[in-house]
Amino acid sequence: MKKDRNLQFCMDELQSMQNRDGLGSEQRSALEKAEGELKRLWRKPNPNRREIFRVVRKVAEAIIKHFVC
């Protein structure tokens, strides 16, 4: 996948969230996994829609599950 501003923004935001004080180990781990998914997507030359949606879902789940409740 070519360099995309939106993908870069998401990766930067996840990194920023990881750098916050007071995160638990579960929260930090979830953010690292989500960032890893985005990096894998970044490396794919031509991801299909299904792959993109799967990664978006994993990132959203990581944030919602560990930060909203």
The sign of the CA dihedral 3, 8, 32, 54 is negative
What is the Cα–Cα distance from 67 to 61, expressed in whole angstroms? 10
Count of domains for the chain: 1
Say if residue 1's pLDDT is above 60: no
Say if residue 69's pLDDT is above 70: no
CA atoms within 13 A on the CB side of 16: 6
Higher pLDDT, 39 or 1: 39
CB 6 within 8 A of CB 55: no
Q: pLDDT digits over 12-61, tens only?
A: 998 998 888 888 898 889 999 999 999 999 899 899 999 999 999 999 99
Range of the domain at 15: 5-67
Claim: this prediction has a pTM higher than 0.85: no
